[in-house]
Structure 1
Amino acid sequence: MANFHTSRLPVVLLTALAATTLPNALAAQAAAKPGEVPAAMALIKEADLKRDLYAMAGDAMRGREAGTPDEMRASIWVAEQLRAIGVKPIGDDGSYFQWFNMVRTRVSTVSTRASLGTNALEIWKDFIPLGGSSADVAGTVVWVANSADTTIDVRGKVVATPIVAPNPASIRTTTNSADVRYTQAAISATQARFARRGAAGLILVADATSDAAFDGLAILRGRGTYDVDRAARRFATQPTRAELPVPARQAGTPAFLVRGSLATTLQGGPSIDVQVRLERFETPSVNIVGVIRGTDPKLRDEYVLFSSHQDHDGVRYQIDGDSVWAGADDNGTVSVALLASARAFAKQPGKRSVLFVYHGAEERGLLGSRYHAAHPVVPLEKIVTVLNGDMIGRNHPDSASLLGIQPPHRNSSDLVKMAVRANELTGKFKLDSIWDRPTHPEGWYFRSDHVPYARLNVPAVMYSTNLHDDYHTPRDKPERINYPKLTRMSQWMYLTGWFVANAPTRPGIDPGFKLER
């Protein structure tokens, strides 16, 4: 599940008892009609899901970070599972792979230099640039002991100030470690106090908590940003790379976080000289694509697309002695659920064909899905539905979310009805609709691989069991997954796809649908 590249409000933690549900008419249970549930659904087995997840999200896969050999290793493993099941390749040159290049922009360790007085500072060890552009900052440091003091004229000056402890309500409750979450909120709070005051540069001095987070934050910031050329948009206002100017200098006030041990030196008003330079390069990532052909001569050239992403966060900084951010729930659970659905469809194909797409580099900004939506392996107009899942193995055993089920995110009432009916016959989950609201602080709908397709008017929904405290940490391991729940979620996704694959007419787009954020 991808993060936004902006700060977010704390996650709203929900339980089944507190969830806002769909109308009772939609949630009513009903018995299956004869032939409504295919016999092949019995092939979706808890033991298979558990075996596959321990393989895919075990420490040997090293967190499957996009653009690394670890993502390649996991991708080859997935392709081999599809081959063994009987899913046919439909990628580049008759393979299971659709290749694309991630464009990575990061601060150059080689070309960035800094000095404080007569002493050189080492990037990522002594200081962390907090912007994403080149910057030049030089001058005599002005110490501002209280950043709330607006009587001090800082215009055109290089300011050093202690970092401000953030409002606890502004600190996220999930992702990364508690000290990193605190530091990210503290950086925003301190920068806000100097917004529009005209400082030439801003040096934030770490307190004890942000000092403890320093190495972890350096690893996160050092990765830079990622994009992909010739791709569909994630947001309506998202510019393409060709539309972006090459940044010569950082917009706004260049800012840096430094170790707390430098406070005494900075109070003495030393000279400082910082030159931040960027580097750009391309590195490969990959979508894994396979197909099971449908049985109906008229419908088999239409496709139901099952969607997951095989990447996660890789090897990062240690939390509780563990540095492998394995991503069992995110998104190993859906990845193995697709394998289970493939076994069922291979045994009992539907009338329409079924595409299985594992999108690469989702964690870097939905890059694989943005690329495939722009360059689909079958004509886009032939993709009748995208069934995407992200994190389907945790939290209360009887609650789940289906995103794209209510306006403005709902683009196909036909598809929603099929998904709700499939839930009645499989998981029987209490559907939490709060996470699908445009006002939800996590912006959950826009953070997974269905979005580029929905924006192109392909009927789409997303299955999730939502955030938990292990999200984007090394604690997201296979042993923490609720496997009975994962089995029911897998059956739910599969049966929805079965309904779409065999419906007389494809799901329609709701009149006037327009996805905005």
Structure 2
Amino acid sequence: MTPRLPTLLVAGLLLAATAAPAQKRRPAPASPAKNAEAAIKEADLRRDLFALAGDKYRGREAGTLDELRASSWLAEQMRAIGMQPAGDDGTYFQWFQLRRTRLTPASTLSIGGRALRPGHEAVVVAPVDAQVKAKLVWVGTGTPAEVAKAKIKGKAVAVQLSGEPTNGISYRRYLFGKLREQAAELAKAGAVAVVFVSDDKAQAIYEHWSHIFERGRYGLPADESLKIVAGQVPVVWLPKTEAEALSKSGQEFTADLRAETFLYPSVNIVARQPGTDAQLKSQYVLFSTHQDHDGVRAPVAGDSIYNGADDNATGCAALLAIMRAFRQQPARRSALFVYHGAEERGLLGSRYFSNKPTVPAGSIVAVLNAEMMGRNAPDSAALLGSTPPHLNSSDLVKTALTANQAGPRFKLDTEWDKASHPEGWYFRSDHLPYARLGIPAVMYTSLLHADYHTPQDEPARIDYAKLLGMTRWMYLTGWAVANRVAPPAREPGFRLER
């Protein structure tokens, strides 16, 4: 079943999308050096960020009315600034569908006759159709010797999470990989279900990150990973408080898991400021960000709204400020502004737009992506896409570094851009689909912090002076690209490591 948008909401969104004011002809800039950097103001950034990341939009979860209401607000700001709509059918919107696969609310689990509610007392790592009734055997940490001794064929297997990464990735990425890979090995050996229980270190990840499994899996409709496949082994993750109970032999494991898949609407919001040069205005500098976050979840310290102030209302406010500057003083090339929906669901909006752009695909000469730009040390930042193998345009990076020296003069952290960095941060934001297509692309970020993906990522915690500097740096880069004669050159032989 595909949920439909309420008629009045659709009408309101489309009215906002088609109400853009008439565009007045503006003279070409007297010189490419004449820009409108002063139009980017800290007070505007603060006002817009508090409006978007306050509790009103309830964390802007992708595929919900909260994301769509926030998107409508952003479209109205674009209209008020004077941006031309550049979405579908003369609107600011490009609609697309998310496919969600989840467990139905009727799904049940029990161990030793004790019920564990999926998504509450137990995390089901992947939504599957599975009906299992089997003896549960404890195999310790799941070494080959322990597995062989337990004779697991036809049984449910309980495993203690343990170990450390040996390949340089973060512990969180290691743990999520272990949940997949060790479960696959045990299923291949004959296990009919796998139950992981946290040790002390895994418990910290469980408490911070297990909520990402609650909603199931999301993707675009054609994604193969969303198909419900018969015969898949259920994989369950439990907190460390369950370790003693699981270690008892002879318990019965039962699971009646029912998966379902359906479609939700999400949206990209797209606007442009036309260029002034007769030849170059058909080319675009694309300013990118995303408007969604994690929505409403189980309370943490009494707060259930994941406001996403840094992630990524900072990027949203930055783009509005950059629009004001380009509106005050247009450049020779056109500026294209894209808010990507459903980034937190796997870069879905940017995957969709990069595949179905609302401007000719070959007209996009560079992508400047804003992702979390308002926290950490006030004088430091990072430019992802500036270090091989992520570097796909030395020319664009040189322009960005020059803009930094002309503007905020941030000390640049290059560690997070390396292929060896444990977080793999380059692969987790909306510049990536464009870079995969070979379009010169960089990401402006002030990196992760302790409030990342928690309800504590609130507007009051943003360093607005730093956000001002990040926004002006991004603008100055885009202004330079939009006024030069040749587009940024692409790196020959560019190829990502994964």
User: Normalising to structure 1: TM-score of the pair?
Assistant: 0.81
Counterpart in 2 of 1:43? Answer: 39
Using the alignment, how far apart are the partners of 1:443 and 1:401 within structure 2?
Answer: 14
Letter in 2 for 1:255: V
Using the alignment, how far apart are the partners of 1:441 and 1:468 within structure 2?
Answer: 15
Contact persistence 2:347–2:430 (CA under 8 A)? yes
The one of 125, 139, 142 equivalent to 1:130 is 125
The answer as to 2:313 corresponding to 1:332 is: yes
Matches within 5 A, 1:223-238: 223-229=215-221
Shift of 1:118: 6.0
Q: Which runs of 5+ in 1 are unaligned?
A: 1-33, 176-180, 230-239
Counterpart in 1 of 2:104? Answer: 108
Q: How many residues align?
A: 466
The answer as to 2:216 corresponding to 1:220 is: no
Matches within 5 A, 1:1-20: none
Shift of 1:471: 0.8
Counterpart in 2 of 1:402? Answer: 383
The answer as to 2:181 corresponding to 1:199 is: no
Shift of 1:192: 9.3
Letter in 2 for 1:140: K
Letter in 1 for 2:192: A
The answer as to 2:480 corresponding to 1:499 is: yes
Letter in 2 for 1:103: R
The answer as to 2:262 corresponding to 1:281 is: yes
Shift of 1:40: 1.2
The answer as to 2:292 corresponding to 1:296 is: no
Using the alignment, how far apart are the partners of 2:314 and 2:487 within structure 1?
Answer: 28
Using the alignment, how far apart are the partners of 2:399 and 2:209 within structure 1?
Answer: 44
Counterpart in 1 of 2:491? Answer: 510
Distance 1:413 1:265, change over 3 A: closer
Using the alignment, how far apart are the partners of 1:215 and 1:204 within structure 2?
Answer: 15
Letter in 2 for 1:254: P
Q: SS at the partner of 1:401?
A: strand
Counterpart in 1 of 2:71? Answer: 75
Using the alignment, how far apart are the partners of 2:399 and 2:246 within structure 1?
Answer: 65
The one of 397, 400, 411 equivalent to 1:416 is 397
The one of 306, 311, 324 equivalent to 1:343 is 324
Shift of 1:221: 1.8
Letter in 2 for 1:364: R
Shift of 1:263: 5.3
Q: SS at the partner of 2:280?
A: coil
Counterpart in 1 of 2:160? Answer: 163
Letter in 1 for 2:216: G
Using the alignment, how far apart are the partners of 2:390 and 2:205 within structure 1?
Answer: 37
Counterpart in 2 of 1:456? Answer: 437
Q: Which runs of 5+ in 2 are unaligned?
A: 1-29
The answer as to 2:53 corresponding to 1:52 is: no
Letter in 2 for 1:73: R
Cα deviation code 1:475-508 (max 9, x no counterpart) = 1111111111111110011111111111111112
Cα deviation code 1:365-389 (max 9, x no counterpart) = 0000000001101001011111111
Counterpart in 2 of 1:16? Answer: none
Using the alignment, how far apart are the partners of 1:268 and 1:215 within structure 2?
Answer: 27
Shift of 1:255: 2.7
Using the alignment, how far apart are the partners of 2:162 and 2:257 within structure 1?
Answer: 27
Using the alignment, how far apart are the partners of 1:430 and 1:265 within structure 2?
Answer: 50
Cα deviation code 1:94-149 (max 9, x no counterpart) = 11110000011112223x34455666654334543233433342222334567556
Using the alignment, how far apart are the partners of 2:271 and 2:391 within structure 1?
Answer: 27
Counterpart in 1 of 2:466? Answer: 485
Distance 1:390 1:212, change over 3 A: closer
Cα deviation code 1:48-104 (max 9, x no counterpart) = 111111111112221111011110111011111111110111112211110000011
Cα deviation code 1:237-264 (max 9, x no counterpart) = xxx52597642122xx533235756955
The one of 146, 149, 154 equivalent to 1:152 is 149
Using the alignment, how far apart are the partners of 1:212 and 1:500 within structure 2?
Answer: 44
Distance 1:511 1:278, change over 3 A: same
Cα deviation code 1:369-416 (max 9, x no counterpart) = 000001101001011111111011111111111111122211112211
Shift of 1:512: 1.8
The one of 453, 466, 469 equivalent to 1:472 is 453
Letter in 2 for 1:399: S
Distance 1:274 1:433, change over 3 A: same
Contact persistence 1:141–1:157 (CA under 8 A)? no
Using the alignment, how far apart are the partners of 1:465 and 1:36 within structure 2?
Answer: 28
Distance 1:163 1:189, change over 3 A: farther
Q: SS at the partner of 1:288?
A: strand
The answer as to 2:303 corresponding to 1:322 is: yes
The one of 224, 232, 256 equivalent to 2:236 is 256
Using the alignment, how far apart are the partners of 1:213 and 1:437 within structure 2?
Answer: 24
The one of 272, 279, 288 equivalent to 1:307 is 288
The answer as to 2:153 corresponding to 1:141 is: no
Q: SS at the partner of 1:411?
A: coil
Percent sequence identity is 49
Counterpart in 2 of 1:374? Answer: 355
Q: SS at the partner of 1:469?
A: coil
Letter in 2 for 1:408: P
Using the alignment, how far apart are the partners of 1:223 and 1:474 within structure 2?
Answer: 17
Distance 1:247 1:304, change over 3 A: same
User: Normalising to structure 2: TM-score of the pair?
Assistant: 0.84
Counterpart in 1 of 2:18? Answer: none
Distance 1:220 1:417, change over 3 A: closer
Shift of 1:199: 2.6
Q: SS at the partner of 1:141?
A: strand
Using the alignment, how far apart are the partners of 1:512 and 1:312 within structure 2?
Answer: 35
